[in-house]
Amino acid sequence: MTNYALPHAERLRSLGAIRRLFAEGESGFIFPFRYVWYAEPDTEPSVEVLFSVPKKFHKRANKRNLLRRRTKEAYRLRKAMLQPAPGTPSANVDLALIYSSKEVLPYKTIDHAVRRILEQIGAQL
């Protein structure tokens, strides 16, 4: 059975890991997200994720919170796409999803973008 929870242990919060992610990670853009990811091979398989909605584009906290909640929900339902198949090499993956649109987009658009991002990262792993 698939676990759809997003526990605190799956959130990227270590300052050193965040610095390494932005210094050495690969990045891309799929509207409305800029994403950065870093995979450390041959380690305990885990995925940690960071969600960000910059104040530069959305001044009101309620809009930032709404977009962050929509992004978390889309990731939570699609995170199984990054889990390694049995018998394949595993990696520790750090991922940052940065909302980069000035518009408040509907959940369907956000979900589609998160799915495409996870597909691209999963293909490169």
In this predicted structure, what is the pLDDT of residue 85? 64
Mean pLDDT per block of 10 residues along the chain (125 residues) reads 83 94 96 96 86 96 97 94 72 94 97 96 88
Please give the structure tokens belonging to residue 65.
């919170």
The predicted pLDDT at position 25 comes to: 95
Q: What is the pTM of this model?
A: 0.92
What is the reported pLDDT for 86? 64
Neighbours of 59 (CB within 10 A): 8
Cα separation of the two ends of the chain = 23
Domains and CATH numbers, the chain: 9-124 (3.30.230.10)
Tokens in use for 49?
A: 């994720």
Q: What is the dihedral of CA 74, 76, 77, 82, to 10 degrees?
A: 110
Q: Cβ distance 39 to 91 under 8 Å?
A: yes
* Amino acid letter, residue 23: A
